[in-house]
């Protein structure tokens, strides 16, 4: 299977925090992103609920 590069911009703090969690799970960022992308294919959409908060529910 051929592979390709994917560049994604994320907040530095988000990346650091995600790397801590993934390390504890024994995963690297590339594997985690591939898992997400395959889940999108399998579920034929985003593999979790996506919704917008009503203004009164937003945190300050």
Q: Which contiguous run of DSSP H or E holds residue 4?
A: none
- Rounded Cα–Cα distance for residues 41 and 35 (Å): 10
In this structure, how many other beta carbons lie within 10 angstroms of the beta carbon of residue 27? Answer: 16
Within-domain flag for 35: yes
Number of domains present in the structure of the chain: 1
Within-domain flag for 2: no
- Rounded Cα–Cα distance for residues 27 and 41 (Å): 20
pLDDT value, residue 3: 93
Within-domain flag for 31: yes
pLDDT value, residue 18: 98
Q: What is the pLDDT of residues 4-51, one digit of tens each?
A: 999 999 999 999 999 999 999 999 999 999 999 999 999 999 999 988
Within-domain flag for 16: yes
pLDDT value, residue 55: 72
């Amino acid at each position: 299977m051929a592979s390709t590069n994917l560049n994604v911009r994320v907040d530095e703090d988000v990346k650091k925090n995600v790397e801590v969690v993934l390390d504890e799970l024994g995963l690297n960022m590339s594997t985690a992103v591939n898992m997400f992308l395959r889940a999108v294919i399998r579920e034929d959409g985003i593999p979790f609920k996506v919704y917008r908060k009503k203004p009164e529910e937003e945190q300050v």
